[in-house]
Chain A
């Protein structure tokens, strides 16, 4: 993805990559890749540093979120594999957004419309959030109150609407801690089963 994003850089335009070459970069680690691009003069040292810092931060916080998975899943009654996949996809989407912020040339990242100037990077993030939110509403229809529905919304909202990876990791768990397991289990109870 990074190599694909680097196509935006002017230097890279002189030597653009075909899809096969892009896929070949999957075999390299990020530090290897950025050092190649820095040595080639495609990106400067400051940009290289920003990319590495962002990646390191996202990975560290993603791992921090993963370390809470057993608690989260016990408290939410969700499948660990699914929560893992969700976290990975959402952190990846945010990291992609962050890399775009670093690499997108400003003149190309805004669009003038009849209603004013639009930030294309923001549009991209919003369209993705729309899809995630829309899909969530399909899988957890309104009226079906459950821990799974609540937990899954907690996870995606935390990831997509927090701007810092540290905050994403914290908000990802939200109230789904071991201490809350019993209390949260009431979400799965049939409201009609208790007499008022």
Chain B
């Protein structure tokens, strides 16, 4: 025990991750150990039914550490898992389809995948490949799914044989540039080496071209050279806010000529934010009471109208989800009830929301809610108490997501 204290609990968890790798076990086992550690810590924390601020601080710190190790482990080994599966491109595209919203982006990914499939088919029949590049610019606010799609893109390219590994190396300006003369090129080259046979994803890439930052332009020059030299082994995706990215690409003719594919990631609609929230809950075996479903609608309605550009969409939903789970934990500790039903239900008070007064007012007005068929825009009434995640449209006959409705304004 003393030893573990000295080296830190995160180091012990790192050891678990290392041994699981050595044993060639699925990354799912690391998730399971993470779950067990959290269960044990939560049990200790609420042993006397009282969570002190010190205990809370420690638990949150530890969980964050575990999450980082767990995610890194998954990142490193999901490729291995996928590699074993030799997954086909259609299963990755099916996974893409399951992502909430971003319809236009999904369409563009399909176009790129179809093009790459055609190219590979030509090559396999001894024909010449049509000269092309797969480097791309992803524009959109943070948390709109750019990294997720880039990761799927890597798997698509791998499945099609365009890239040998298809892994994603994510970086930003700080990871590419040095602080002193002579540091930048080696640093940029090192990151590019890591991304070889996969995708280099540069987040907020526009910051490399900001005025007066010479090391940024050195990184761009190094990147452009490697994109040329290693064109068969490296795909670069640059990402950031739309306007800034346009300025960035136009700032250098070399960038303009190499980045020919653009995908825009619009902000999620409020209903989509609710759906992401709902799917996070489902993934963690949590169900929402009708009241919470209704409050969730109002919460994201408020957020979509009042959140700042940087507050982040998908990330905002994940943060909301984490807060709700913590509130649930506090509520359960007060009641002392930890049966399976109590653990699986999230209630309206678990969601602290600035939209609370508006929700109450709306409820009193008795206006009700609607839900729209995403295919033909037909409108139906929606009731939070009815558990109907997918409905069949009376008008067009197609199925549509009816898990969350919309406010009548």
User: Residue-by-residue, is B311-348 near A (CB-CB < 8 Å gives 1, otherwise 0)?
Assistant: 00000000000000000000011001111000000000
**The residue from A86, A100, A108, A146 contacting B40, defined by CB atoms under 8 A apart:** A86
The answer for the CA separation of A138 and B45 in the assembled complex, in Å, is: 10
The answer for the CA separation of A86 and B39 in the assembled complex, in Å, is: 7
Task: Say yes or no: A139 contacts B22, CB within 8 Å.
Answer: no
Chain A contact surface mostly: helix
The answer for the CA separation of A92 and B20 in the assembled complex, in Å, is: 17
Given A78-B47, A81-B338, CB of A134 within 8 Å of CB of B29: no
Identify the closest chain A residue to B342 (Cβ): A81
List B38-70 residues whose CB lies under 8 Å from chain A: 39-49, 55, 58, 62
List B78-114 residues whose CB lies under 8 Å from chain A: 78, 81-82, 84-85, 87, 91, 95
Asked whether any CB of chain A lies closer than 8 Å to the CB of B132, the reply is: no
List B1-55 residues whose CB lies under 8 Å from chain A: 1, 3-5, 9, 12-13, 15-16, 19-20, 22-29, 32-33, 36-37, 39-49, 55
* Chain B residues within an 8 Å CB radius of A133: 1, 4
Task: Say yes or no: A1 contacts B338, CB within 8 Å.
Answer: no
Task: Say yes or no: B19 contacts A120, CB within 8 Å.
Answer: yes
**The residue from A13, A92, A130 contacting B1, defined by CB atoms under 8 A apart:** A130
The answer for the CA separation of A78 and B81 in the assembled complex, in Å, is: 42
Identify the closest chain B residue to A146 (Cβ): B48
**The residue from A18, A86, A124, A137 contacting B20, defined by CB atoms under 8 A apart:** A124
Given A5-B29, A8-B23, A16-B85, CB of A130 within 8 Å of CB of B4: yes
The answer for the CA separation of A156 and B44 in the assembled complex, in Å, is: 10
Asked whether any CB of chain B lies closer than 8 Å to the CB of A90, the reply is: yes
Q: What interface size band does chain B fall in?
A: 35 or more
The answer for the CA separation of A73 and B85 in the assembled complex, in Å, is: 48
The answer for the CA separation of A13 and B368 in the assembled complex, in Å, is: 53
* Chain A residues within an 8 Å CB radius of B78: 19
**The residue from B5, B28, B39, B85 contacting A4, defined by CB atoms under 8 A apart:** B28
**Most chain A beta carbons < 10 A, residue from B26, B40, B332, B338:** B40
Asked whether any CB of chain B lies closer than 8 Å to the CB of A33, the reply is: no
Given A18-B82, A135-B40, CB of A4 within 8 Å of CB of B1: no
Given A13-B84, A79-B46, A82-B46, CB of A96 within 8 Å of CB of B1: no
Identify the closest chain B residue to A141 (Cβ): B54
**The residue from B15, B47, B81, B338 contacting A127, defined by CB atoms under 8 A apart:** B15
**Most chain A beta carbons < 10 A, residue from B20, B41, B62, B82:** B41
Given A16-B85, A128-B16, A131-B12, CB of A4 within 8 Å of CB of B25: yes
**The residue from A19, A131, A156 contacting B13, defined by CB atoms under 8 A apart:** A131
11 contacting pairs across A/B (C-beta < 8 A): A1-B28, A1-B32, A5-B25, A8-B25, A82-B47, A88-B39, A108-B24, A130-B4, A135-B44, A137-B5, A139-B45
Of all A-B residue pairs in the complex, the 4 with the closest CB atoms, nearest first, are: A81-B338, A130-B4, A86-B43, A133-B1
A-to-B contact residues, CB < 8 Å: 1, 4-5, 7-8, 13, 16-20, 22, 77-86, 88-90, 92-93, 96, 100, 104, 108-109, 111, 120-121, 123-124, 127-128, 130-140, 146, 148, 151-152, 156
For the complex with contacts A5-B26, A81-B332, A139-B45, 10 further pairs of A-B residues with Cβ separation under 8 Å are A5-B25, A78-B48, A79-B48, A85-B39, A90-B40, A131-B4, A131-B9, A133-B4, A135-B41, A152-B44
